[in-house]
Structure 1
Amino acid sequence: MKLQLVFLVLLFQFNNLLSQTSLQEIDLDYGRYTIGFKHYTATDSTRTYIPKITVNHKEVLRPIPISIWYPSTTSILSKSPMSVLNYMEVLKEEEEWESLPNYFILDWFYYANTPQNQQHLKETAQAYIDIPIAKESFPVIIYAPSFQASSIENFAICEQLASHGYIVISSPSRGASSKRFQKPERAIETQARDLEFLIKEVSRFPSSDMNRVATMGFSFGGLSNVLTQMRTTIFKANLSLDGTIRYNPDLLKSTAFYDPKKITIPFMHLAQKEIPQAVMQQENISATLNTDFEFYDALTHCDAYKMRFHDMSHSYFSTLGVLFEKRDLRQDKSDQKIMASYKLVSTYSLQFMNAYLKDDATALQFITNTPQENNISSDLISKESKTATVQKAFDFYDFVHQAKLQNYKNVKTFYKQIKKTHPTLELPEGRLNTLGLQLIFNPKNVQAGISIFELALQLYPTSANLYDSLAEGYLYIGDTKNAIYNFEKSLSLNPDNQNATKRLKELNP
């Protein structure tokens, strides 16, 4: 009897070992780029903040911790990749517990201090800290984390996207004036402003293609990024990882910017499985949570997709959830099923971004297919989709897309033709300026950049800034004659242009 008992105990422990999650077992599909990672703190000078360490409640300019994953072509033979503990140290800093000993991390922050979770901290991730970014132009993804969560909560998917040629930027979800949110209606506005800050921050990186920007949000972040989309026109796609937009659309409606007609970009929502009725009754959750999706139903101006992952509970749409979250024995699937489903979430995330930021026809076919057409069992995923019933206006990003397809040749003539068909088309000076600089600073696209500046100056002939930017472009490629001409033209339009004055003194000593 004792031998049988010992055998059963050992069998139970062995099964637990087999079912334990790990980054290696998730086995994400990584691309050709080495993955770089940077973490630093920027400052939003428009808002104030009271850190935890300020005993006397002294306000400071609002700090915004920033995490960036990016593609690199650097050889990493002499470097070691990050560990999960390294990512948790970022969480520790964002929680304003920088000096906390690492052995307290699991006790202090959300997760059980079990042997399995301690083992997770030792696991190796894919990113390398502060290696150089590849000298190419990459689409950008603005990631919005869940309620009061860390910028690194979904580091595995962020790493995977970076390995396939994306720059992913994120900041923690935190209150406007202190770490914790005070009211939900303020929380959504605060996170939306933070996402707008990230857009400006990532635009400072020369490798960021700001004409190919999407947003991705988990849980509460999947509500805030919809508000951000309604406040800005820069996004080309919106991916929701079981976003709260499905569960609490009234919170979005309470904001001043709410307007479903502004949702004109592709939208995809990846949802958790149906919650068992017994659990809903115990938690006092309305039965409509499993069935209703008011926001999706209201979409008319964009292509939209909604998918349900039948083996996934809400927490497991994040890396930290898969690794560390305590399983709910009432409803959660096995660790093997959770890892398999998380890999599918990462696959659909990548294909969605490839389809709409890289114009990848194969990726678009993948996301428009039924799961069965992609050789995925209906037991794992179910899907619905719809196409826009109202045609959106032809805008700046559509123009850039069409111009790029013809390698930016004859741009001025192309603009005249498009304008006849789409008379409401506007090409803002600032966006043309940014696009021109991005192209001209890339040795492969110098002439394309010059063509964009020529169009911009045709539309804005008195813009000193455009002439100054074009001059910088010519200077970058070594065309001193044209650089001098355009700096002089800029200075004639704006005698206070200190950059042009400085450059002309350097070029005409």
Structure 2
Amino acid sequence: MKRLLLALLFCTAAAAQADDEFSFSNPPGPHAVGFRIVQQYDYTRQYKTRVDMRTGAPSSGERARPIQALVWYPAARGSQPGKPLNFRDYLGTIPTEDDFTLGAADVKRLLEQRIEGHAGKRRAALLRELAKPMLAVRDAQAGNGRFPVVIYAPSLSSSAVENTDLCELLASHGYVVLASASMGAHTRSMGTDLEALETQAADIAWLIGHARSLPQADTGKVAVVGFSWGGLANVLAAAKDERIKAIVSLDGSVRGTREFVDGGKDAAQYVTPARLAIPMLFVGRRPPTIEELNRAEVDTRFSFLNELRYSDLTIATMLPMKHMDFSSYAVRVGPEGSFGDYTRAEIALAHSWAARYALRFLDAYLKQDAAGLAFLNNTPAANGAPPHMILTSVRRNGGKTPPTLENFVARLGAEGFEQAIPLYQQFLAQGAAFKLGPNEIYGWGSELETLERYAQAAEIFRLGTHLHPDEAFLFECMAEMQAKAGQTAKAVRSYRRVLELNPQHAAAAAFLKAHGGA
């Protein structure tokens, strides 16, 4: 009986210990995982201001923006030097995220301070977590082949190691993954204004540019995965950068931070549904109650996700998860009682399923993998998800061609520039947001003139006169291009309009006199 009681006590203690530790349940892919750290400066941007923004003392050292890029990559199996990293090793990259001059002693001291800050009553469990081996081996030999690129964008002010388990998982399945810390324009802390948001979007663009230097990276296939603030920054990045072919938002602020994407005075005006005609996965936390929304004074009348008419959109809702549960770092180090009615192990399982959705989505859209697309189209139950974990997986196909300037120009090239006015009206009816002011028209027409495409230039200036009927210089430009294209009768009519708008126009009068149109 005593042995039985001891066995029961041992099993109970082991189960309790397991419940209080993080376990990533997704099996790794076919590749080993390598990891390296790249410390560079972006000399196109200034990071340090004239004085230290914390102390007011004069700034010293390099003032360009530091970017410490963490890179996970598919490695060659069976040839890995060294042992796998543990989570403590990852934490050791945090102190140097914006200061490359720190020595080993300073890094160790700052790391120990961070660990002690999280220890609390879970000290023993946390130390076990930090010692667990991960997948990646530092500076492992890269595997053969070229692989799609994934940029990971952390949440507000967070470290690049915020979701190491996801980054390692993706690398094991054949992706090159890059991440850098979420830092403000001039301070380590990220702000919450548009400048700060665009700073992180610029960091994403820098990482894509750096990926071009990696022999394994196929930068024709790029996606950005972002959590929270990073899940809004990646939307801004994609709206400006057509290199980005897919977006994953892990409970991203694109859902709740309306002021940056709703077209208001503080919004990024270039973030429009037409400029985000790429596949998007949104994996969100359990929905708040009406009472919680009321207390937070949340305006639910607007949803940017509902505006994405041209995107293939997938929405998965994780019922056990709160916002910070989308960070494996937070699930690991969170104090007791962080997870409400759930255990740490239950949240870790839900977190693993959120990562699985991200992997399958990327497989579907960056690798055109049929199994990945089937996974997205399945119900969570059909995919083997535990009951009551994933509320729904909404799929909405975009399908329509977005009314962007690029698509407008492509249609002109295919159907003829003489269709400029009716095509523009068609795009306008579809919600086109691009503007063709007099200066834009003049620049476009002038570039066509440089290419000696006079008839096409004349049609662009004709569109300009349709949009801006009182601008005499656009009629003059149209008449000049018509004359160069040999369209004399059209040029006569256009120069007559020039004289109506400006009776003193000498060149128009001379042309009409020379061609019998006076």
Residues 292-311 of structure 1 mapped to structure 2, 5 A cutoff: 294-311=303-320
Residues 422-461 of structure 1 mapped to structure 2, 5 A cutoff: none
Q: Which has the larger radius of gyration?
A: 2
Using the alignment, how far apart are the partners of 1:54 and 1:110 within structure 2? 33
8 Å Cα contact 1:312-1:332 kept in structure 2:
no
Using the alignment, how far apart are the partners of 1:164 and 1:374 within structure 2? 18
Are positions 1:325 and 2:338 aligned together? no
Using the alignment, how far apart are the partners of 1:369 and 1:229 within structure 2? 27
Task: Call closer, same or farther: CA 1:11–1:299 in 2, change over 3 Å.
Answer: same
CA apart distance, 1:187: 1.4
Quote the residue 1:274 is aligned against: 287
Residues 386-425 of structure 1 mapped to structure 2, 5 A cutoff: 386-388=396-398, 390-392=400-402
CA apart distance, 1:109: 7.2
Using the alignment, how far apart are the partners of 1:279 and 1:345 within structure 2? 24
Quote the residue 1:44 is aligned against: 42
Cα deviation digits, residues 276-331 of structure 1 (max 9, x gap): 567667xx42466xx77601111111111111001111111121022112355684
Using the alignment, how far apart are the partners of 1:305 and 1:324 within structure 2? 30
Cα deviation digits, residues 82-125 of structure 1 (max 9, x gap): 01000000123226576142432223579987222222111111
SS in 2 for 1:190: helix
Task: Call closer, same or farther: CA 1:109–1:74 in 2, change over 3 Å.
Answer: same
Superposed CA RMSD in Å reads: 3.5
CA apart distance, 1:350: 0.9
Identify which of 83, 107, 123 aligns with 1:114.
123
Task: Call closer, same or farther: CA 1:293–1:329 in 2, change over 3 Å.
Answer: farther
SS in 2 for 1:90: coil
Task: Call closer, same or farther: CA 1:95–1:324 in 2, change over 3 Å.
Answer: farther
Using the alignment, how far apart are the partners of 2:362 and 2:271 within structure 1? 25
Quote the residue 2:96 is aligned against: 93
Task: Call closer, same or farther: CA 1:189–1:287 in 2, change over 3 Å.
Answer: closer
Moved more, 136-145 or 115-124: 115-124
SS in 2 for 1:211: strand
Flag structure 2 segments of 5+ consecutive residues without an equivalent.
1-6, 407-412, 418-450, 452-518
Give the letter for the 2:318 counterpart: F
Give the letter for the 1:19 counterpart: D
8 Å Cα contact 1:146-1:220 kept in structure 2:
yes
Using the alignment, how far apart are the partners of 1:134 and 1:366 within structure 2? 27
8 Å Cα contact 1:217-1:243 kept in structure 2:
yes
CA apart distance, 1:30: 0.7
Runs of 4+ in 1 over 4 A off after TM superposition: 7-15, 51-55, 95-98, 108-113, 276-281, 327-330, 392-396, 419-423
8 Å Cα contact 2:36-2:139 kept in structure 1:
yes
Give the letter for the 1:57 counterpart: S
Using the alignment, how far apart are the partners of 1:293 and 1:31 within structure 2? 39
Task: Call closer, same or farther: CA 1:183–1:321 in 2, change over 3 Å.
Answer: closer
Quote the residue 1:20 is aligned against: 20
Give the letter for the 1:385 counterpart: R
Residues 223-242 of structure 1 mapped to structure 2, 5 A cutoff: 223-242=232-251
Flag structure 1 segments of 5+ consecutive residues without an equivalent.
1-6, 397-418, 424-459, 461-509
Give the letter for the 1:149 counterpart: S
Quote the residue 2:31 is aligned against: 33
Using the alignment, how far apart are the partners of 1:277 and 1:206 within structure 2? 51
Quote the residue 2:444 is aligned against: none
Quote the residue 1:479 is aligned against: none
Quote the residue 1:265 is aligned against: 278
Name the count of aligned residue pairs. Answer: 395
Using the alignment, how far apart are the partners of 1:31 and 1:395 within structure 2? 41
Quote the residue 1:372 is aligned against: 381
Using the alignment, how far apart are the partners of 1:107 and 1:375 within structure 2? 39
Quote the residue 2:222 is aligned against: 213
Moved more, 226-235 or 248-257: 248-257
Are positions 1:134 and 2:134 aligned together? no
Residues 159-170 of structure 1 mapped to structure 2, 5 A cutoff: 159-170=168-179
CA apart distance, 1:222: 0.3
CA apart distance, 1:422: 11
Identify which of 41, 64, 73 aligns with 2:76.
73
Using the alignment, how far apart are the partners of 2:122 and 2:270 within structure 1? 43
Quote the residue 1:191 is aligned against: 200
Q: What is the aligned-residue identity percentage?
A: 27
Give the TM-score normalised by the residue count of structure 2. 0.69
Task: Call closer, same or farther: CA 1:214–1:111 in 2, change over 3 Å.
Answer: farther
Quote the residue 2:350 is aligned against: 341
Cα deviation digits, residues 449-505 of structure 1 (max 9, x gap): xxxxxxxxxxx9xxxxxxxxxxxxxxxxxxxxxxxxxxxxxxxxxxxxxxxxxxxxx
Using the alignment, how far apart are the partners of 2:308 and 2:25 within structure 1? 35
8 Å Cα contact 1:140-1:168 kept in structure 2:
yes
CA apart distance, 1:246: 0.6
Task: Call closer, same or farther: CA 1:193–1:111 in 2, change over 3 Å.
Answer: farther
Cα deviation digits, residues 219-239 of structure 1 (max 9, x gap): 100000000011111111111
Give the letter for the 1:227 counterpart: L
Give the TM-score normalised by the residue count of structure 1. 0.70
Task: Call closer, same or farther: CA 1:324–1:421 in 2, change over 3 Å.
Answer: farther
SS in 2 for 1:70: strand
Using the alignment, how far apart are the partners of 1:351 and 1:215 within structure 2? 14
Cα deviation digits, residues 133-166 of structure 1 (max 9, x gap): 2231110011111000111111101001000110
CA apart distance, 1:207: 1.6
CA apart distance, 1:29: 1.8
Task: Call closer, same or farther: CA 1:421–1:203 in 2, change over 3 Å.
Answer: farther
Task: Call closer, same or farther: CA 1:183–1:334 in 2, change over 3 Å.
Answer: closer
Moved more, 80-89 or 243-252: 243-252
Cα deviation digits, residues 339-379 of structure 1 (max 9, x gap): 21111112111110000011111111111222233233551
